[in-house]
A and B are shown apart, each in its own frame.
Chain A
Amino acid sequence: MATNYEQLAKKMVARAKKSGASEAEVFIQVGREASCRVRDGDIESLTEATSKGCGVRVIVNKRLGFAWTTDFMPSNVDAFVDRAVALAQASAPNPLNGFAEGKDFGKLPDVGSLSDSAIVKLAPDWKIKAALEMEKVCRSYDPRIKTVDSVEAGENVTEVYLASSAGMTGGYQTTSAYLYTAAVAAEGEQLQTSYWYDVKRFLNELPSPESVAREGARRAIRLLGAKKVKSQKVPVIFDPTMAAGFISSIAGAANGDLVFKKSSFLASKLGEKIAPDTVTIVDDGLLPKGLGTAPFDGEGVPRRRNAVVQNGVLRSFLYDAFTARKAKARSTGNASRGYKSMPSIGTTNLYLEAGKRDPEEMIREVPNGFYVTAMLGSGANLVTGEYSRGANGVWIENGQLSRPVQEVTVAGKLIDMLQGIDAVGSDLRFLGSTGAPTIRFKELTVSGE
């Protein structure tokens, strides 16, 4: 089966060349998914499906065309490729147009296995049992857990194939399995919800359904009784999940395309010290067993490890082949894509390296501050570097977590926030493909009453 799609991709590249494309690249994704949601001790929904799709990029007279389809009928494939060729005529010629080429490719790294046979062969009732257990544990965690918003388990198997006129062909298979619990807690008139989940490439790396359910419930209970606080400037701690979101914003600003267009607040800061020595942000496309790990990126360029910020110094922006050519840089293997879209710059396994500080001690040192455990809104303006998000969490009084807080925002300038990181915890943890430890900002504005 596997070689069929690789062969099909090569055939489509050949067809594009024959129809007048000077360069062509075909990306095929084939997958199956299965998931189960439960409620009140029974199945709520069970979904199973297979799907596939193909995207073809062509260059004709320096003009770019792109088409995608889910229709793989052999009789339609040539017409589909020709459509991409015809589309190119509507775009403008650009001498910089072109896909990844010889110097970008090189030897593919050995990333180990990305596919777990235990997930490929997973029994259909695994997800049902796991979800039912999560719901049971969640509901019995505390009498104040009133219901669940959703409890779900599932697995995915995905194959990716790529072929290009520059001679690149390849393919790989990945697996993943996930557990998700969103608990609802009630006390008096107030309802609070919190979710927790984990997703891994390998089944034996996934935490137990029980631990995921308990964490979801614990986080919802912790918010009961949450109130606004007065507006003030105080030290603010992000738990690892919130810290990972913050790191994603920073990596978003290191997007080579935004940098080239001077639409990132980091554009002029390469080589500058933008954070304390304790801050090292890495995008590692080769991380063993990482959810974002693959031998090559969305245009066939080998994945690699890129330190975006090394000991506080901004070291690297992230590039795909086209942007790298514009910016006279090299692709960093950060083209990310699905079949419905052209490649764009994205991260792989992005994380803030663990520091040395005990996260509990980081809280103990704060006489008056805010421990943030959930946020709302996208919040970061990468052009201006302004940051403002809705936040929930727990107030810190005399070094202790005291009362829950909601309906406030935390705000600052991203560059000041980076500079103001005064403690990095030792508790690095990944949630999906992004990871961070607990971090503490010396001072942010909390807006409330």
Chain B
Amino acid sequence: MGTKVPKVSPTTLLPITLAERLLGAAMERGADFAEVFAERSESTGVVLEEDKVKSAQSGLAQGVGIRVISGMKVGYAYSDDLDDEALFRAARTAAFIAHGGGSEQSFKVSRTPLPTFYSLKQHLSAVDLSQKRDLVVRANRAARAFGKRVRQVSATYADTTKRILVANTRGHLAEDVQDLSRMSVSVVVEGKNAERRSGFYGGGGRVPFSHFDVFTPELVATEAARQACAGLGAADAQAGEQTVVLAPGWSGILLHEAVGHGLEADFIRKGTSLFAGKVGQKVASDLVTVIDDGTVANSRGSLNVDDEGNPGQFKVLIERGVLKGYMYDDFNAGLMKTKSTGSGRRENFTCLPMPRMTNTYLAPGEDTHDDIIREVDGGIYCANFGGGQVDITNGNFVFEVSEAYEIKKGKLGRPLKGVTLIGVGPEALKNVSRVGNDPMPDPGLGTCGKDGQSVPVGVGLPTVRIDKMTVGGTRVGAAR
């Protein structure tokens, strides 16, 4: 029953001696630092729509990016041709940034031991395609079985097995294989008066394929359908400042936007983040401890090694409201006289690395989920989020809340629609008045975009209450 798909030919990413010679060529004009980044990514995807497996897809991207640093200047060139001529041309193009009169030097690189936060016995690229297809077929069946109101179901499974090699003129050599999978289901339902609502759920991570024996397509599809139905008949949200309670888990996306980006070192060095120069200062309520952790086992944002060859790390960014530190890549760390925090990431070999988040979450507090809701006289419970965006300079962030409920006298009430949260990062953090002690499951859905580059991230948040949050809605001044 297995579908035979010819395997992409396994070739070595890049011979070590060639990497060393490229480093030599890149340093020809007397730069301070050079780095070779090689990548080979195999991806597979299956898409189901309108009750049919619409297509099966696969892709292969391979190439080499060469970065040369001279003082504060960076030269970058890449090539998807892997022949010597093209690679040396790229090395010399990147070298152009340096002006010194160097001469060809020789470099030797050697492997340093790396931690292992994920390591799959069977890479996802080697899993039979028919097994991946079965996931979307099962998801569709489960979503359709949810009820007659279900009108549209689309299900997608996608994975990537990415091999990287980083070699630099500090003699450092690192290699990693980064598997990543995600399945997702979106459902459109129809209620009374032809009202249509959509729901979306999914997840995955740097997990073996057997993850989907537990995180089943049925579970994913049922949750997507439930979310869609939950919005039927929802009332318009009241506009203005209100108390909001965020559900645990995926709502961590709010933390990612509201503070995470503003703590990335490139914005700090350029002075464009409103968190610049505030280490040691109180930037949030005492209840707020923010962690970025690249070492979480099998999580979507985890890194054995980042895209500059540094191991993933556990970092406390904010501790009991006090700003402790930022997230650094090598380049910004060098200019700021500190060390990389293993946060240098890039979407692929065509991109320069930047400081990025890995898995970012709020440390648990002491209150129970139920108590947090019970204390709220009037407010909004935000159960699920769509997308968000932040302006790191003025700190403004927004979130679309895809599933929301009124809280009235400590109890969840009717569903609300069209809820958007907006705030200024540090102000919202100062207004965090309760933090739950509940687990914060991250299904493994997050993709973060910055400067045109997308990377997978993990997020997490226990149940949290934030006071005086501005809620965007369409209703003004009506009685509650």
Max chain A Cβ within 10 angstroms of own Cβ: one of B58, B241, B399, B471: B58
Question: Counting CB contacts under 8 A, is A399 at the interface?
Answer: no
A96–B9 Cα distance when bound, in Å, is: 34
Q: How far is the CB of B43 from chain A (nearest CB, A)?
A: 9
Q: Which residue on B lies nearest to A374, using beta carbons?
A: B391
What chain B residues lie within 8 Å of A409 (beta carbons)? 239, 398, 420, 422, 470, 472
**Segment at the B interface, from A69-77, A105-113, A203-211, A244-252:** A69-77
A228–B470 Cα distance when bound, in Å, is: 9
Question: Counting CB contacts under 8 A, is A65 at the interface?
Answer: yes
Given the known A-B contacts A388-B473, A390-B389, are A44 and B74 also in contact in the complex, defined by CB atoms under 8 Å? yes
B444-476 residues with Cβ-Cβ distance < 8 A to A are 451, 470-476
Given the known A-B contacts A45-B352, A193-B393, are A390 and B398 also in contact in the complex, defined by CB atoms under 8 Å? yes
Q: How far is the CB of B81 from chain A (nearest CB, A)?
A: 8
Question: Counting CB contacts under 8 A, is A66 at the interface?
Answer: yes
A44–B81 Cα distance when bound, in Å, is: 26
Whether the Cβ atoms of B77 and A447 lie closer than 8 Å is no
Tell which of A233, A379, A407 touches B424, judged by Cβ atoms closer than 8 Å: A407
Question: Counting CB contacts under 8 A, is B333 at the interface?
Answer: no
Question: Counting CB contacts under 8 A, is A231 at the interface?
Answer: yes
A46-60 CB contact bits vs B (8 Å, 1 = yes)? 111111110000000
Question: Counting CB contacts under 8 A, is A86 at the interface?
Answer: yes
A263–B129 Cα distance when bound, in Å, is: 30
Q: How far is the CB of A11 from chain B (nearest CB, A)?
A: 19
Whether the Cβ atoms of A448 and B240 lie closer than 8 Å is yes
What chain B residues lie within 8 Å of A261 (beta carbons)? 50, 151-152, 188
**Segment at the A interface, from B163-171, B212-220, B269-277, B319-327:** B269-277
What chain B residues lie within 8 Å of A228 (beta carbons)? 470
Question: Counting CB contacts under 8 A, is A402 at the interface?
Answer: no
Whether the Cβ atoms of B62 and A71 lie closer than 8 Å is yes
Question: Counting CB contacts under 8 A, is A91 at the interface?
Answer: yes
**Segment at the B interface, from A2-10, A184-192, A281-289, A426-434:** A184-192
Question: Counting CB contacts under 8 A, is B438 at the interface?
Answer: no
Question: Counting CB contacts under 8 A, is A449 at the interface?
Answer: yes
Whether the Cβ atoms of A70 and B241 lie closer than 8 Å is no
Whether the Cβ atoms of A231 and B474 lie closer than 8 Å is no
Given the known A-B contacts A52-B80, A76-B9, are A68 and B474 also in contact in the complex, defined by CB atoms under 8 Å? no
Q: How large is the interface on B (under 10, 10 to 19, 20 to 34, 35 or more residues)?
A: 35 or more
Max chain B Cβ within 10 angstroms of own Cβ: one of A66, A70, A79, A386: A70
Whether the Cβ atoms of B389 and A191 lie closer than 8 Å is no
What chain B residues lie within 8 Å of A406 (beta carbons)? 394, 396, 424
Whether the Cβ atoms of B473 and A445 lie closer than 8 Å is yes
A134-155 residues with Cβ-Cβ distance < 8 A to B are 146-150
B293-325 residues with Cβ-Cβ distance < 8 A to A are none
Whether the Cβ atoms of B400 and A232 lie closer than 8 Å is no
Q: Which residue on A lies nearest to B86, using beta carbons?
A: A50
Tell which of B151, B195, B396 touches A407, judged by Cβ atoms closer than 8 Å: B396
What chain B residues lie within 8 Å of A92 (beta carbons)? 52-54
Given the known A-B contacts A65-B55, A411-B418, are A90 and B4 also in contact in the complex, defined by CB atoms under 8 Å? no
Whether the Cβ atoms of A191 and B274 lie closer than 8 Å is yes
A377–B90 Cα distance when bound, in Å, is: 37
B390-448 residues with Cβ-Cβ distance < 8 A to A are 390-391, 393-394, 396-400, 417-420, 422-424
Question: Counting CB contacts under 8 A, is A119 at the interface?
Answer: no
Tell which of A87, A149, A232 touches B58, judged by Cβ atoms closer than 8 Å: A87
Whether the Cβ atoms of A70 and B60 lie closer than 8 Å is yes
What chain A residues lie within 8 Å of B62 (beta carbons)? 70-71
What chain B residues lie within 8 Å of A378 (beta carbons)? 386-387, 389, 400
A294-319 CB contact bits vs B (8 Å, 1 = yes)? 00000000000000000000000000
Question: Counting CB contacts under 8 A, is B93 at the interface?
Answer: yes
Question: Counting CB contacts under 8 A, is A88 at the interface?
Answer: yes
B1-54 residues with Cβ-Cβ distance < 8 A to A are 3-6, 8-9, 46, 50, 52-54
Q: Which residue on A lies nearest to B40, using beta carbons?
A: A71
Q: How far is the CB of B308 from chain A (nearest CB, A)?
A: 15
A328-351 CB contact bits vs B (8 Å, 1 = yes)? 000000000000101000000000
Question: Counting CB contacts under 8 A, is B59 at the interface?
Answer: yes
Question: Counting CB contacts under 8 A, is A383 at the interface?
Answer: yes
Q: Which residue on A lies nearest to B48, using beta carbons?
A: A92
Given the known A-B contacts A69-B59, A71-B62, A226-B394, are A390 and B418 also in contact in the complex, defined by CB atoms under 8 Å? no
What chain A residues lie within 8 Å of B198 (beta carbons)? 263, 381, 383-384
Q: How far is the CB of B334 from chain A (nearest CB, A)?
A: 14
Whether the Cβ atoms of B475 and A42 lie closer than 8 Å is no
A51–B351 Cα distance when bound, in Å, is: 12
Whether the Cβ atoms of B270 and A390 lie closer than 8 Å is no
Whether the Cβ atoms of A49 and B350 lie closer than 8 Å is yes
What chain A residues lie within 8 Å of B129 (beta carbons)? 87, 90
Max chain A Cβ within 10 angstroms of own Cβ: one of B419, B420, B475: B420
Given the known A-B contacts A47-B76, A70-B62, A83-B5, are A383 and B270 also in contact in the complex, defined by CB atoms under 8 Å? no
What chain A residues lie within 8 Å of B151 (beta carbons)? 261-262
Given the known A-B contacts A149-B272, A377-B398, are A90 and B3 also in contact in the complex, defined by CB atoms under 8 Å? yes
What chain B residues lie within 8 Å of A342 (beta carbons)? 55, 57
Q: How far is the CB of A183 from chain B (nearest CB, A)?
A: 10
Q: Which residue on B lies nearest to A388, using beta carbons?
A: B420
Whether the Cβ atoms of A447 and B393 lie closer than 8 Å is no
A64–B61 Cα distance when bound, in Å, is: 21
Whether the Cβ atoms of A46 and B74 lie closer than 8 Å is yes
Whether the Cβ atoms of B57 and A447 lie closer than 8 Å is no
Q: How far is the CB of B6 from chain A (nearest CB, A)?
A: 6
Question: Counting CB contacts under 8 A, is B130 at the interface?
Answer: yes
A320–B172 Cα distance when bound, in Å, is: 49
Q: How far is the CB of A419 from chain B (nearest CB, A)?
A: 15
A75-101 CB contact bits vs B (8 Å, 1 = yes)? 010011011101111111010000000
A410–B422 Cα distance when bound, in Å, is: 11
What chain A residues lie within 8 Å of B195 (beta carbons)? 384
Q: How far is the CB of B277 from chain A (nearest CB, A)?
A: 12
Q: Which 4 A-B pairs have the closest CB atoms?
A: A409-B472, A390-B398, A447-B239, A193-B393
- A sample of 19 cross-chain residue pairs with beta-carbon separation below 8 angstroms, ordered by A number, consists of A43-B73, A43-B97, A46-B73, A49-B77, A64-B54, A69-B61, A70-B61, A86-B4, A87-B5, A94-B54, A148-B270, A193-B272, A226-B394, A340-B61, A377-B400, A390-B397, A447-B239, A447-B473, A449-B470
